């Protein structure tokens, strides 16, 4: 099922009791659930009747209680079981047992970036829960999506303007969303933006892919990490700048890990830390690959690398390469 087909069911009042939102684009998961909440719950009820649960951390008995509980106020309750790709076998068992027995008025949305198609539980879920496609758009398709999204906001972009927004946002949908909101605010009642205004409002050329390097570190594979590091160094980035950016992002990941335990959303974390929303969202996504003790070891190793480089105890590039190899082996 496409996202458009899902939204059509929602707007026509034909929403089923349970769905599987499946795909790597977190923004689409967030927006579909936001649309459901706006359509089905009065604002006064959302705090009580819209529950977001992390499938990777929830206890089986807690999930059971949620799935057996009806609406606290009103006639509708929404449950978002997020990050199901991290669910344990016990959580999978609870879901498979309870999804067909939801109380009247309860709607369940199981959200996963990906599922192991070889697992019986995944096959059962896809068989019984209509999957909604939340896959990432291809880079070639992004400019069209940007134009359509801008048009809904009241902005008319030229194909070249849409392409430029994609490039300056590093083809990241969350960053594109933020940039479009900024452009819309600037435009006010105007439907069009001059190229010079767009150029001034957009960020500069995208920075080297520091997030890609962290993803490679998360994969625990130096054969992935070192090539990403080489790309950064060969692009002309200074070793100490890369090191500082790595340290800052791993601190963000540690904060995201703690924020998840406290039930905070990426947007709340962004406001709390004073970072951009897309950075907070990335941090939340990357946090699932690490434990707090692992992050403490990584930050300690990066601090050691900083000391060695600044005191001249080791050549900067070599020390940075060694640090990446060591933290991927943790």
Give pLDDT tens digits for 227-262. Answer: 888 888 887 778 888 888 889 989 999 999 999 888
What is the pLDDT at residue 107? 96
CATH number of residue 13's parent domain:
3.40.50.300
* Residue pLDDT, tens place only, 89-105: 999 999 999 998 999 99
* Residue pLDDT, tens place only, 163-186: 999 988 878 888 888 889 889 888
What is the pLDDT at residue 255? 94
Do residues 231 and 291 both lie within one domain? yes
Do residues 181 and 215 both lie within one domain? no
Expressed as residue numbers, the domain containing 291 is 210-328
What is the pLDDT at residue 256? 93
What is the pLDDT at residue 208? 58
Total structural domains within the chain: 3
User: In sequence order, which residues have a C-beta less than 8 Å from that of residue 295 and are 6 or more positions away?
Assistant: 250, 253, 254, 257
Do residues 128 and 8 both lie within one domain? yes
Quote the CA–CA distance of 166 and 145 in Å, as a whole number: 10
Alpha helix stretches (DSSP H) within the chain: 3-11, 26-40, 46-49, 60-68, 89-98, 120-128, 142-153, 159-168, 173-187, 195-201, 210-218, 222-234, 239-261, 266-273, 277-287, 292-310, 316-328
Instruction: Spell out, as residue ranges, where the chain has pLDDT lower than 50.
Output: none
Pick from 210, 236, 240, 239: nearest CA to 225: 210
């Amino acid at each position: 099922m496409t996202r458009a087909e899902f939204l059509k069911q929602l707007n026509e009042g034909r929403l089923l009791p349970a769905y599987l939102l499946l795909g790597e684009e977190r923004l689409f998961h967030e927006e579909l659930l936001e649309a459901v909440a706006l359509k089905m719950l009065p604002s006064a009820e959302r705090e009580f009747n819209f529950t977001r649960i992390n499938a990777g951390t929830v206890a089986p008995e807690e999930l059971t209680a949620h799935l057996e509980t009806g609406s606290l106020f009103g006639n509708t309750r929404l449950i978002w079981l997020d990050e199901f790709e991290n669910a344990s076998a016990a959580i999978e068992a609870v879901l498979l047992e309870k999804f067909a027995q939801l109380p009247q008025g309860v709607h369940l949305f199981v959200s996963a970036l990906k599922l192991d198609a070889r697992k019986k539980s995944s096959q059962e879920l896809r068989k019984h829960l209509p999957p909604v496609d939340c896959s990432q758009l291809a880079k070639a398709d992004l400019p069209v999506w940007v134009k359509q999204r801008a048009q809904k906001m009241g902005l008319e972009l030229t194909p070249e303007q849409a392409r430029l927004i994609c490039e300056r946002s590093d083809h990241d949908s969350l960053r594109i969303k933020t940039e479009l909101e900024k452009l819309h605010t600037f435009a006010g009642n105007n439907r069009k933006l001059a190229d010079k205004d767009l150029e001034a409002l957009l960020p500069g050329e995208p920075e080297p892919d520091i997030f890609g390097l962290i993803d490679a570190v998360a994969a625990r594979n130096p054969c992935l990490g070192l090539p990403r590091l080489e790309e950064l160094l060969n692009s002309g980035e200074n070793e100490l700048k890369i090191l500082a950016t790595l340290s800052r992002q791993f601190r963000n990941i540690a904060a995201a890990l703690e924020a998840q335990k406290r039930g905070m959303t990426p947007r709340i974390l962004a406001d709390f830390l004073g970072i951009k929303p897309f950075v907070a969202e990335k941090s939340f996504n990357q946090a699932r690959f690490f434990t707090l003790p692992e992050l403490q070891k990584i930050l300690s190793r990066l601090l050691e690398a900083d000391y060695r480089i600044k005191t001249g105890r080791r050549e900067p590039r070599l020390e940075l390469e060694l640090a990446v190899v060591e933290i991927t082996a943790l």
